Amino acid sequence: MKKGEIFTLRKDRKEEAVRSDVMASEREYRWTVCAVIVLLIGLCAAHMTDRPASSHPHRKTSVLKMDEASLSVTNEIENDMMLYVVSDHCYKCLPQLLGIIPARPASGTPTTVGFVVGTQHALTLQLNSTSANLEQCKVNFLFGEQGNYSLWVKNLNEPSLVSCSMITDSEPINSYLPILFAFLVFALLAALSAVWNTVKRLDVVTNLLLCLGSTVETERLINSELGTPNRLVDASMESIIPATTGRRLRSLDTFRGLALVIMVFVNYGGGRYWFFRHESWNGLTVADLVFPWFVFIMGTSIGLSLSGSLRRGVKRTHLLWKIFWRSLQLFLIGVIIVNPNYCQGPLSWDSLRIPGVLQRLGFTYLVVAILDLVVARDRLTNLSSETCWYSVHDVCLYWPAWLFVIAFETIWLCLTFLLPVPDCPTGYLGPGGIGDFGQYQNCTGGAAGYIDRWLLGNNHIYQTPSSRVVYQSVMPFDPEGVLGSINSVLMAFLGLQAGKILLHYRDQHRQIITRFLIWGFILGIISAVLTKCSRNDGFIPVNKNLWSLSYVTTLSCLAFVALVVFYYLVDVKKWWSGTPFFYPGMNSILVYVGHEVFEEYFPFRWKMANNQSHAEHLAQNLVATSIWVIIAYLLYRKKIFWKI
């Protein structure tokens, strides 16, 4: 073949490849648009179900907001009554005065007064007489959103006996139907994707694709990343590829991506459902799971990354410099992100919030990475399985690091339970406000809050903590404060231990899964002892605001169990490629920073027709989160990764 013909042939092949790539991109965009349209249709249908029915002419939904109901109290007694209310979710809280219901006139009709009550949790209503402020009757009831209710107060046979009866005047709406519709839409998309991945591997379909499309395009469809995971060969990501396995564990990126997607969703509002918001104080919601899991996976990645770098011959001094630089970058980006006036000029020091999510990640990464760099070995020790301590050598080989972490945790325990806090009981872990019967209103967070206010000042920490929602606390308190960062280090170190298991028992799937489950069981037992299997009555309750020890052990237990599931499905059996969570997991910093910066911009947020509708908020938040997943996918296809 002549030289000119060879050149022409190469040019034709190049043009064919370009055309195939264009076709592939167009097909990807079409699938994306179709998916978003299906999502919007489903959520619009859910919005219709979220509207109050027109068959109830007396319903007052026009004046009610989300998570509110209308309560009319009718007094048939010839005494003024005081209505108190307290949420069942509020631990050891004093009832709060809601209003006064005047007495019925001696020869008149009963007096009726209307109130608005919350519907997120069950409420205890208590009616007291105004004369002696004595309890007359008490009712515990869970109100439905935008329902109308009547509470009738009347005398029984004896004048001193009072009866209270609750009547439902009009049924509430089912505010959870939008979640059901959204779940069905995403389940349908997942099912269609799974069917396509199965069908396209059939010989008949493969031959049909060969006949209908170009060879390059057909091969791309058959070997699509939406199907069986392929080995990632991007050189920019080699720093976190375990040198022992020669490949990147997709399960880690999938787990990280899942945590990140949920984090984005709850940060955007989570449809304004209470269980997609952070718990007011003790306890767990969906929103409380994701940040610790992100920290856990960061610890796992540290172990794999540093081990691979050392075995490639990278000097420890060079790695130490990279650790410092990355931590500083995370901290500085975090300070800019959590202070919302970064687009309006220089940040004001007077109200600059210093702690934050990325700041805590930076500090945690600094401590755990340096700790691992000190104890990590250039070459893994190959022990015989007959060695007596083989089953625990992934712990024993790094005993200095364990001593440091135990000492670090001892500092947290001593400061939390022994540090004197002015005007507060020693070892106080409560929310302050109306909690603990209002005895310690200004003691929010105990030692943790006191240390933050002493070191950083009231103006440089979070001003509206979640404890204000239920406990009406008035003190600033930062959930990413100084004392809680110690337990964040513990969380990342437990994730580092997961990385050590992956390194020392590489390719021994049964050993890895068994050890993950053992760690989950041990941490679960510790959590059960610390909490006494209760929300509020344990030695150390599960508390995200404090990042309590039981919070770390509980979430680490769940992380080990979740990692077993992801590892088995994605890396062992390869039944699932990790799609779609794998893609945001590969670009986690970009997605996190991007969703914070562009939160108020279209298409992530738009003006709603009814901003008191769960369905519209859910649609907006799901679309915004889905867009970030699509962006992460497109960046992955273009091999664009933002690393710090």
All structural domains of the chain with their residue ranges: 3-48+177-213, 68-173, 250-638
pLDDT attached to residue 77: 84
H/E segment holding residue 73: strand 68-75
* pLDDT at residue 499 tops 90: yes
pTM of the model: 0.83
162-176, 191-205, 214-228: range with lowest mean pLDDT: 214-228
Phi, psi of 243, rounded to the nearest 5 degrees: -65, -20
pLDDT attached to residue 389: 66
User: Band of the pLDDT at 294, cuts 50, 70, 90?
Assistant: very high
pLDDT attached to residue 485: 95
| Torsional sign, CA 625, 595, 543, 549 | positive
The predicted-structure confidence for 189-207, as pLDDT tens digits, reads as follows 888 888 877 787 777 777 7
DSSP state of 277: S
User: Band of the pLDDT at 25, cuts 50, 70, 90?
Assistant: very low
Interior/surface letters 90-121, b for 16+ CB within 10 angstroms, e for the rest? bbebebeebeebebbeeeeebbebebebbbbe
* pLDDT at residue 84 tops 70: yes
CA atoms within 13 A on the CB side of 539: 10
Instruction: Kindly list the catalytic residues.
Output: 278
Mean pLDDT, the chain, rounded, equals: 82
136-150, 152-166, 256-270, 624-638: range with lowest mean pLDDT: 152-166
Neighbours of 383 (CB within 10 A): 12
- Which residues, at least 6 apart from 540, have a Cβ–Cβ distance to it below 8 Å? 429, 530, 531, 548, 549, 550
* pLDDT at residue 595 tops 50: yes
The first and second tokens of residue 250, run together, are: 């997709």
Q: What value does the mean pLDDT take over residues 420-427?
A: 93
pLDDT attached to residue 559: 96
pLDDT attached to residue 50: 46
pLDDT attached to residue 42: 44
Q: What Å distances lie between residue 190 and 193, 195, 579, 601, CA to CA? A: 5, 9, 9, 28
pLDDT attached to residue 611: 85
* pLDDT at residue 576 tops 80: yes
User: Band of the pLDDT at 9, cuts 50, 70, 90?
Assistant: very low
* pLDDT at residue 223 tops 50: no
pLDDT attached to residue 535: 93
pLDDT attached to residue 358: 92
Strand partners, 75: 111, 153
* pLDDT at residue 327 tops 80: yes
Phi, psi of 127, rounded to the nearest 5 degrees: -110, 125
126-130, 376-380, 475-479: range with lowest mean pLDDT: 376-380
Confirm if 341 and 350 have CB atoms less than 8 A apart: no
Phi, psi of 97, rounded to the nearest 5 degrees: -65, 125
User: Band of the pLDDT at 157, cuts 50, 70, 90?
Assistant: low
pLDDT attached to residue 601: 87
* pLDDT at residue 407 tops 90: yes
The residue among 72, 80, 71 whose CA lies nearest residue 133 is 80
Q: What value does the mean pLDDT take over residues 384-398?
A: 73
User: Band of the pLDDT at 567, cuts 50, 70, 90?
Assistant: very high
pLDDT attached to residue 54: 35
Cα–Cα dist 631/643, whole Å:
16
* pLDDT at residue 379 tops 80: no
Cα–Cα dist 251/219, whole Å:
25
Pick the more confident residue, 319 or 56: 319
Between CA 408 and CA 411, with CA 410 as vertex, the angle to 5 degrees is: 65
pLDDT attached to residue 343: 54
Q: How far is CA 130 from the centre of its chain?
A: 46
Pick the more confident residue, 158 or 5: 158
Q: Which of 27-31, 383-387, 412-416 is predicted most confidently?
A: 412-416
pLDDT attached to residue 247: 58
The predicted-structure confidence for 505-533, as pLDDT tens digits, reads as follows 888 899 999 999 999 999 999 999 999 99
* pLDDT at residue 233 tops 60: no
pLDDT attached to residue 29: 41
Pick the more confident residue, 136 or 16: 136
- CATH class in words for 68-173: mainly beta
User: Band of the pLDDT at 46, cuts 50, 70, 90?
Assistant: very low
User: Band of the pLDDT at 291, cuts 50, 70, 90?
Assistant: very high
User: Band of the pLDDT at 85, cuts 50, 70, 90?
Assistant: very high
